A and B are shown apart, each in its own frame.
Chain A
Amino acid sequence: SQQGEEDPQALSIQEGENATMNCSYKTSINNLQWYRQNSGRGLVHLILIRSNEREKHSGRLRVTLDTSKKSSSLLITASRAADTASYFCATDSGGSYIPTFGRGTSLIVHP
């Protein structure tokens, strides 16, 4: 069953703007990961944040995790047209480290 749910489902912005995507989940997690998928391609791992972490950075990416609200956000700063893709959050919980994916956010960055 799906655990994470991304919001918004679709996001359209201009190059240079920041893009923020949110992910909410229902049960306690071990880890939360964000992935990127270009149309018709496989997934690329972006960031993993553990349940005891609150924020992580990687280049233009910033991920936050609020376990009290069971939510995470992915911020892409100074977006580029090449950032156009679908972004998924995935959580794992309990004794299983198999990630369960949300439906994703489709991001379009206009040049």
Chain B
Amino acid sequence: GAVVSQHPSWVICKSGTSVKIECRSLDFQATTMFWYRQFPKQSLMLMATSNEGSKATYEQGVEKDKFLINHASLTLSTLTVTSAHPEDSSFYICSARDGQTNYGYTFGSGTRLTVV
């Protein structure tokens, strides 16, 4: 089945630094990828939709300059948290849609970001 690889699985960084999270579709091409954020014991909140070769579409309230998304190929999307602050600490999960169907969503294993 479709597999999405997300790295790193966890990262600790200092305030003010930037962190890049990668999301790769391993055995399918993903024209669209999604980035979610999840606070403890909360639901997944969609942050942005990443489209290969074009600008990402951000959800209301998500700062596009803070959460930079790049989807340069059909198998890779990256989320960069710029100038991270403790309030950015969260669990970030990517999801990719298998282009073979409209309904196949596969999720990465998530990245636990802790900003100290």
Contacts and interface: CB of A to CB of B under 8 A. Distances in A.
B interface majority secondary structure: strand
A100 B49 CA distance: 13
A48 B103 CA distance: 8
B41 to A, nearest CB: 7
B46 interface: yes
A101 B49 contact: no
Nearest to A31: B103
Interface residues of A, number: 21
A110 B105 CA distance: 31
Contacts of A40: 91, 110, 112
Interface of A: 2, 31, 33, 35, 40-45, 48, 88, 97-104, 106
- List the 7 closest A-B pairs by CB distance, nearest first: A42-B109, A43-B107, A42-B107, A101-B44, A103-B43, A42-B110, A101-B43
11 contacts: A33-B105, A42-B6, A42-B107, A42-B108, A43-B44, A48-B103, A88-B44, A97-B97, A97-B102, A102-B43, A104-B43
